[in-house]
Amino acid sequence: MTHINLLPWREEARELERKAFIARLLASAVVGALLMFLWILLADNQLEHQHMRNSYLQSNIAEMDKKVAEISQLKRKKAEMLSRMKVIQDLQGNRSEIVKMFDELVRAVPDGTYLESLTGKQGKITMSGFSESNNRISMFMRNLDNSPKYANSNLTKVQQDDRLGEQGSVFDLQVEVETSVAENSESSQP
């Protein structure tokens, strides 16, 4: 005789399919969670590695900043030393020039003219003095202009003064100092 199966086989098949679907769903959830955990672990590892690289770079940058500060300080000291050496060389080279300037000044001052003060600044000399007459001041200016060391004498003040008589005068005078040919050639060279 034939067996007739009256059990609900479709429902059992559906139940088996539902259980298999839930099992696959749980398996994919576990695999997804595992993959997510591995990805987070890998990302944390890379982040930690990047932090280590950043700290290494920052420590090296700090060292380099110290070295740069040292180098700039050494360059500043070098520039100071070079400027001091230049001043000393200029002073040594111009020793004889100063003597020649004063010698020419003494030769240019006529009798009856007296200097009270001399001030030199940036290639100009300012003189104050008194004279017996205005003619002697004019002669003094001509002598300075004819001198090889001085040029462009400029009288800035003349006032009457009775110290040396009725025609006596007090004066202020500016004159430019001429540089020699040797000094000009040295200053034009690098």
C-alpha span between 141 and 153 (Å, rounded): 6
Predicted local confidence at residue 186, as pLDDT: 43
Read off the tokens for 190: 């690098």
Question: 109: which 2 tokens?
Answer: 């001052």
> Cα(98)–Cα(93) distance, rounded to whole angstroms?
10
Please state the domain extents for the chain. 94-180
Give per-residue pLDDT as tens, 138-176. Answer: 888 888 888 888 888 888 888 877 776 677 888 888 888
pLDDT top residue among 163 and 89: 89
What pLDDT sits at residue 61?
Answer: 96
Where is 49: in which H helix or E strand?
helix 9-93
**Dist. CA 42–CA 115, nearest whole Å:** 92
Give 113's Cβ-side CA count (13 Å radius). Answer: 21
Residue with tokens 């576990």: 30
Helices 95-108, 9-93: crossing angle, 10 deg rounding: 50
How would you classify residue 80: left for phi > 0, otherwise alpha for psi between -120 and 50, otherwise beta? alpha
From CA 83, how far away is CA 135, in angstroms rounded? 45
Confidence tier at 19 by pLDDT (50, 70, 90): very high
Token pair listed for 60: 């090296």
- In the DSSP assignment, the letter for residue 85 is H
When the candidates are 3.30.70.20, 3.30.1360.100, 3.10.20.340, 3.40.50.620, the CATH number that belongs to 94-180 is: 3.30.1360.100
Which residue has tokens 């040396």?
164
Report d(CA 177, CA 148) in Å as an integer.
Answer: 9
Q: What confidence category does residue 187 fall into, taking pLDDT thresholds of 50, 70 and 90? A: very low
pLDDT (mean) for 102-124: 84
Quick one: average pLDDT of 176-180?
75
